[in-house]
Amino acid sequence: EIVLTQSPGTLSLSPGERATLSCRARQSVSSSYLAWYQQRPGQAPRLLIYGASSRATGIPDRFSGSGSGTDFTLTLSRLEPEDFAVYYCQQYGGSPPRYTFGQGTKLEIK
């Protein structure tokens, strides 16, 4: 089973700043099957990025995803107040298929 490790655990930044979140896998992940989610307190997760770099419907272009192999990144170019939340990466693969999540990165207001 592929293990995803997200870093940092907590990221403290101010509105307007740039945020860079990392997701690393112990073994290579198909870029086609790496996704990022945002979860605000008390809400369900929301898909931000799929296929490592494709934005989901309605997601602002300040969110971008990149990476391949074992290293993936979610970048928020200019933080808005509503962006402070927990972010999860997730991958799909294997036989039988498995869907695994990273442990999450909390983005908090500095």
- Residues of this chain that bind another protein (CB under 8 A): 32-33, 35, 37, 39, 44-47, 50-51, 56-57, 88, 90-93, 96-104
Residue 84 vs 88, nearer CB to another protein? 88
Whole-angstrom distance, CA of residue 102 vs CA of residue 110: 23
Cβ count within 10 A of residue 39: 15
Contact criterion met (CB below 8 Å) for 74 and 89: yes
Residue 15 vs 54, nearer CB to another protein? 54
Q: Strands across the sheet with 63-76, in order?
A: 4-7, 19-29, 63-76
Tokens 């997760």 sit on residue: 45
Could you tell me the smallest distance in angstroms from the CB atom of residue 37 to another protein? 8
Could you tell me the smallest distance in angstroms from the CB atom of residue 86 to another protein? 8
Residue 81 vs 97, nearer CB to another protein? 97
